[in-house]
Amino acid sequence: MFRAVARIFRTPDLRRKIGFTLGIVALFRLGSFVPAPFVDFGNVQTCLANNAGTTGLYELVNLFSGGALLQLSIFALGIMPYITASIIVQLLRVVIPHFDTLYKEGQTGQAKLTQYTRYLTIALGVLQSTTLITVARSGALFGTTTGVPECTALITDDAWYAIMLMVITMTAGTGLIMWMGELITERGIGNGMSLLIFTSIAAQFPGALLSIQQARGVEILIMVLAVGVVIMAAVVFVEQSQRRIPVQYAKRMVGRRTYGGNNTYIPIKVNMAGVVPVIFASSLLYLPALIAQFNQPAAGETPAAWVTWISNNLVSGDSPFYMALYFLLIVGFTYFYVAITFNPEEVADNMKKYGGFVPGIRAGRPTADYLDYVLTRVTLPGALYLGIIALIPLIALSTVGANANFPFGGASILIIVGVGLETVKQIDSQLQQRHYEGLLR
């Protein structure tokens, strides 16, 4: 293992790619601590130090921004606008035929879809930065501000030009992050966007573990680490699991040459949806809480019944109703996302076009029905797995008393493991090309 790592740094091309990637990652983390214009950095740090920023309303966005959201930095929005734009463009393929046509055109069509994603990312950046600044001005960014007057004075200037400059700065920060991710993909190692998300999440692990140790003691910390190792092993096992459907291709003569006649398989992963259903479910559950937050009564008034119900059932992560609804939404979104990303009829038609067939299954419609049958049943354990992993932080919050940023669960552990595996595979393949011996054995 150590010899393989040494070979990485003895390979000039690979060493240059890894160095470039680490340099971009360092700049990305530096920008997470640079405050936006007209932000009172001292008051922000006071609110964070008083632990007022543990509200679950912005937990997902703050997670993907590496804590930069609650810092109100120039990279406050992080990579979240790009993730949202990518998901929207992918879903629009089902609604808009032109998008589906571009997707099937190959590299040229993919380039146009990427350009649409960039435009939509900037638009979402303007929208989300405006919302974030509005919430910060109202004093509701850190949830309850009782005893912390600094949380109502985060912005030093309320003039229109100051607000506009903040919106432009945060939106430009989102565009810069998007460009940095594309640079890593082009000149570095691994997928740039995924690595930036990986960096944002991994940067919060030490702080989360330290807070658990300070709040619950060393014994609970050791127990959390042991549980984390077990969870990571289980995630690696499931993420690598797949159902392989055998496919045979008939021999065919083209001129004097014989084509086909080989055997292959269609890999259907247990978790084909990745972390997207967790993001969908979290975002959907945040909407009622966000609406309720903007309908808080004035001092001395009684809140409306629906606001009280949402505060009791859809804001607190330890609510049984919240957990059950979260789990069901993840299961439903898993089936929905798999259905729009894997088309059995299209796969069956392509197989029939090139003379492929599943042994024992007729080509055409029967093959599509068989693929749909297998996909439906393989997706069930994948959906249950995603729901259980996503509930781990909420269960830890209600049982062990760990804070809401419990590191080993939810979207964080799925992204950490998935991106880590993919990056290691890329390094391994490049080592094999140059030394005939990879990183993994």
| C-alpha distance from residue 309 to each of 295, 305, 317, 395 (Å) | 13, 6, 14, 21
Average pLDDT, the chain: 80
Helix (H) or strand (E) holding 292: helix 276-293
Domains plus CATH for the chain? Answer: 17-203 (1.10.3370.10), 205-441 (1.10.3370.10)
Q: What is the predicted pLDDT for the residue at 377?
A: 92
Q: Which residues pair with 246 in a beta bridge?
A: 265
Angle at 28 between CA 26 and CA 30, to 5 degrees: 70
- DSSP reduced 3-state for 409: coil
CA separation for the pair 360, 32 (Å, rounded): 56
Looking at residue 225, its amino acid is L
| Structural Rg of the chain based on CA atoms | 24
CA separation for the pair 103, 91 (Å, rounded): 12
The string of pLDDT tens digits covering residues 407-426 is 666 778 888 888 888 888 88
Structure tokens belonging to residue 363: 């080509």
Q: What is the predicted pLDDT for the residue at 425?
A: 82
Burial of 350 (0-12, 13-18, 19+ CB in 10 A): exposed
The string of pLDDT tens digits covering residues 357-383 is 888 888 888 889 999 999 999 999 999
Which residue carries 């009622």 as its tokens?
Answer: 288
Q: What is the predicted pLDDT for the residue at 255?
A: 63
Handedness of CA 297, 303, 307, 310 (dihedral sign): positive
Q: Which residues pair with 248 in a beta bridge?
A: 263, 357
Contact between residue 70 and residue 140 where contact means Cβ atoms under 8 Å apart: no
CA separation for the pair 193, 182 (Å, rounded): 7
Length of the chain measured in residues: 441
Structure tokens belonging to residue 336: 């929905």
Looking at residue 195, its amino acid is L
Task: For residue 64, give every residue at least 6 positions away whose Cβ sits within 8 Å of its Cβ, in sequence order, or none.
Answer: 78, 79, 80, 83, 197, 200, 201
Looking at residue 241, its amino acid is S
Q: What is the predicted pLDDT for the residue at 52?
A: 43
Which residues in the chain land under pLDDT 50? Answer: 52-55, 145-146
